[in-house]
Chains A and B, each alone.
Chain A
Amino acid sequence: MKQFLQHRAATLPTIGAVVIFVAMIAYGEIAYGRILQFSTLSNLLINNAHLVILAVGLTFVIVTGGIDLSVGAVIAFTSVTGVLLANAGWNPWLVMVLMVVIGGAFGLASGILVEYFGVQPFIATLAMMFLARGLASTLSTNPERLADDSPIRLIAAEWKLVDGPKVNDLILTPGVLIAAIVVLGAWFVLHRTRLGRTVYAIGGSEPSALLMGLPVWRTKVWVYVISGTLAGVAAVVYTARLGIAQNITGIGWELDAIAAVVIGGTLLTGGVGYVAGSVVGALVLGLMIVLITRDGKIPPEMTTIITGGIVLVFVLLQRGLSVVRRNP
């Protein structure tokens, strides 16, 4: 058993997240009903696609042992920029590409600060967070509405796959599909490319990775670029769904995404973690909101308290496992 724990300790928190997710669905189904059905699950995916994308991006950064606090603010800036440009008559497809590129540029800036100027990731991305938030506010402080007929909204177009009775439909959107592609792509990069393995090696021991001759600097810049780029993608998906962009969009989302990553079993100290875990973590957070809404008696203010509790439980679980690992 102990040996099993040592060999599998890396996957246990992720398995734990899956167990919790299933337990939450089961509890919801028994206590409130209508959870385990097409419409609820479709909405869960549609409403949380942007969070899943953000969490995937942060998984890269956190596995290297870094952190990216700027993603929420990057979403605000890119979505306000995108909506303003689209409304000004720019080609909407070009606008979407531009949103993603701007996100990547913020990530590149963070990465360069971290790697070439030796700034702590926390501080570098905090600076980027204030910068992006401030830039968004200089563009506009009002909610900017996207024209209803803008092609950007196609990203949120609903494809009814199964037309169930009593509006119990299985619905997908291109946004959900994008999230799925991002997840698959991230899995491929992390587990089947040298870039991905270097990400893990850096998280395990950066000095060792350097001495092994791995491209540490380049890789560390890349993870911030990936995180920023995916923030841009998340901005496209979210803006398309809501149809509104505002400078206060995405406040605290970086923390939601970090929470999702941690719940999914990624160690904040780096080196251990899975994309699949982060996806489940994001869905756990989304499902929690659904359950609280359904319950009706839990005040919505409790949401953050419960989130905090879940994160704490998972961090303690990881502590326990790392103690087992260290003392064979």
Chain B
Amino acid sequence: MTEPVVEMRGISIEFPGVKALDGVDFRLFPGEVHSLMGENGAGKSTLIKALTGVYPIDAGEIRIAGEIRRLNGTADARNAGIATVYQEVNLCANLSIGENVMLGQEPRSALGIRWKALHAAAHAALERLGLGALDPRAPLSSLSLAVQQLVAIARAVQRESKVLILDEPTSSLDANEVANLFRVIRRLRDEGVAILFVSHFLDQVYAISDRMTILRNGRYEGEFLTKDLDRTALISTMIGKDADALRSIAARRARHDGEPQVVLSATDLGRKGSIAPTDVDLHRGEVVGLAGLLGSGRTELARLLYGADRADTGSIIRAGKRADLRSPRAAMRSRIAYSSENRRDEGIIRDLTVRENLILGLQTKRGWARPIPRREQDELVQKYIGELGIRPADPERPIKQLSGGNQQKVLLGRWLATQPEILILDEPTRGIDIGAKAEIQGAVAALAERGVTVVFISSELEEVVRLSDRILVLKDRRKIAELVNGEHVTADTIVAVIAEDAATAHEETEA
């Protein structure tokens, strides 16, 4: 085998109170796609940041192309031929495509930047990725996010990088865009670039990577050839326990009995441009899944139920009385809680601590004039940290230092603290790792058993099917079906329902 282009040995990084990485080894060969796997908080980002010079390492050594290097700052890493493309597109939307590719590397003469040469060089870099059709003079803002991401890769490889790090590059892409990205990745791999790929989507990891390194709790768990490691083995190595945990949830949900008690009944609930008039009944202790493709109206329906948007039509009967949910506060008063899909902007408040984030919901419900006593706060926080398994279990840590999955658990705790009877969770498991996912799913199932009604929205149909008692299928901003869950219902059933509806809609237009 050839020499590794990156070899990290015994890397340790410590933050106050936490050992983020503990003696981790990692190697990366030219011409391979290597996935870094692990739960959130396992140390993947920390390892990447060590390799990109963002964090200094406390112990261990980093060899690049055989030479020991100390990376102090991102500039060092870049000069060593390591380029990174982050989850969010880090380009300047106000500049042209070509400029974004070439910023900091502009060809110059005595008369300043040579724009023609710049655009030609940018075109060449784009061409290399098969993006020759893009006009380097057009503004970056004219491109979709997915293409902007490819432009970011063009920028990264324009400098003859030997190592390309892709950190969650597919999290906001659809299937076609992912295929496009993979074509670009394979092209670069065949040119001998070493690619470090990080993603939560197991399918994608298996589709693209040649090898993987697994981390858990900041420790090295091993390096495997992708073809030698099946998914079950991968998952149990990642979470260090049996993947059967996931299955038992489904089993628990299967038991369901008693006379259904309607807690909320919406008739003809709709809002122009967001969702067509829809009937929804929610029963006590039931998990209702909202399934549908992105943009099918799942979030829109949830927002109407919560009063975040005002309905134009229809009415809501809540606990036998007509309810006028004009605002989130009104919904909270009738004990409905909504956790947004947009965790970062509408959920957590980054600079506040876990405790402060957790009590926010309850405080809002009580009103600002009645502050929650500190002792009660601490009790609440301790309770939910324990119940939901929030890690690290430190209430005074700013929430931004937690991984996505743990942030989501704090948000869940925030709404649970308000003791809702109806809890709407919009994409609570998006972008979080499989272990945290299982824990959140477990929490949802436990809640339903205690009599809370949960409206569960997720893009992952398997997850909806696993958890829900009843599934509302949405498409093109209307409800097209309502399925009672059971043996016969699978993700494929839902896909079939959506597809059939498309067929009928097509026939209707033809007729």
Residue numbers of A with Cβ under 8 A of B are 3, 6-7, 10, 188, 191-194, 197-198, 200-201, 203-205, 207-209, 211-214, 271-272, 325, 328
With an 8 A cutoff between CB atoms, is B106 at the interface?
Answer: yes
**Minimal beta-carbon separation of A107 from chain B (angstroms):** 23
- Chain B positions within 8 Å of A203 at CB level: 94
Whole-angstrom distance between the alpha carbons of A271 and B86 in the complex? 22
> CB distance B92 to A204 under 8 Å?
yes
**CB <8 Å contact, A192 and B112:** yes
Contacts of A201 in B (CB 8 A): 92, 95, 103
Assembled-state Cα–Cα distance A214/B94 (Å): 16
A6/B92 contact (C-beta < 8 A), A194-B104, A201-B103, A214-B104 known: no
Query: Which A residues are in CB contact (< 8 Å) with B141?
Result: 6, 325, 328
Q: Does B113 contact A (CB under 8 A)?
A: yes
- Per the bound structure, the CA–CA distance linking A188 and B103 in Å amounts to 17
Contact indicator A211/B113 (Cβ below 8 Å)? no
Closest Cβ neighbor of A215 among chain B residues:
B104
The answer to whether A213 touches B74, judged by C-beta atoms less than 8 angstroms apart, is yes
B72-112 interface code vs A (CB 8 A; 1 in, 0 out): 00110010000010100011111100010001101010011
A201 to B106, CA, bound (A): 13
Our pick among A10, A213, A271 for the contact of B92 (Cβ within 8 Å) is A271
B113 adjacent to A197 (CB under 8 Å): yes
Residue of B nearest to A205 (CB): B92
Complex Cα distance, B113 from A160, in Å, reads 37
Q: Give every chain A residue within 8 A of B155 (Cβ-Cβ).
A: 212
CB closest residue in chain A, given B139: A7
Contact B99 A197 (CB under 8 A): yes
A6 touching B104 in the complex, CB below 8 Å, given contacts A188-B112, A201-B92, A205-B90: no
Tally of B interface residues using CB under 8 Å: 24
Give which listed residue, A6, A204, A211, contacts B74 with CB less than 8 A. A211
What are the 6 closest A-B residue pairs judged by CB atoms, nearest first? A192-B112, A204-B92, A271-B94, A204-B94, A208-B90, A211-B90
Are A6 and B103 touching (Cβ within 8 A)? Answer: no
Do A197 and B103 touch across chains, with their CB atoms under 8 A apart? yes
Q: Are A7 and B142 in contact (CB under 8 A)?
A: yes
B94–A272 touching, CB < 8 Å: yes
Docked-complex contact A200 and B92, CB < 8 angstroms: yes
Q: Chain A: which residue is nearest B156 at the CB level? A: A212
**B351–chain A nearest beta-carbon distance, Å:** 15
**B86 cross-chain contacts in A, Cβ below 8 A:** 211
Q: Give the one of A198, A200, A203, A204 with max B CB within 10 A.
A: A204
Interface status of B138 (Cβ within 8 A of chain A): yes
- Residues of B near A204 (CB, < 8 A) are 92-95
Q: Which residues of B contact A213 (CB under 8 A)?
A: 74-75, 78, 104
| Cβ A6 vs Cβ B91 within 8 A | no
Are the C-beta atoms of B111 and A200 separated by less than 8 Å? no
B139 neighbours in A (Cβ, 8 Å): 6-7, 10
Q: Can you name 26 A-B pairs with beta carbons within 8 Å?
A: A7-B142, A10-B94, A188-B112, A192-B113, A193-B108, A193-B113, A197-B103, A197-B106, A198-B103, A198-B104, A200-B92, A200-B95, A201-B95, A204-B93, A205-B90, A205-B92, A205-B93, A208-B90, A208-B92, A211-B74, A211-B84, A212-B90, A212-B91, A214-B104, A271-B92, A271-B94
> A151 to B200, alpha carbons, bound, how many Å?
72
Residues of B within 8 A of A6 (CB): 139, 141-142
> Which A residues lie within 8 Å of B104 (CB)?
194, 198, 212-214
| Complex CA–CA separation, A209 to B86 (angstroms) | 13
Known: A209-B92, A328-B141. 8 other contacts (CB 8 A): A7-B138, A192-B111, A194-B108, A197-B106, A201-B92, A205-B92, A211-B84, A212-B91
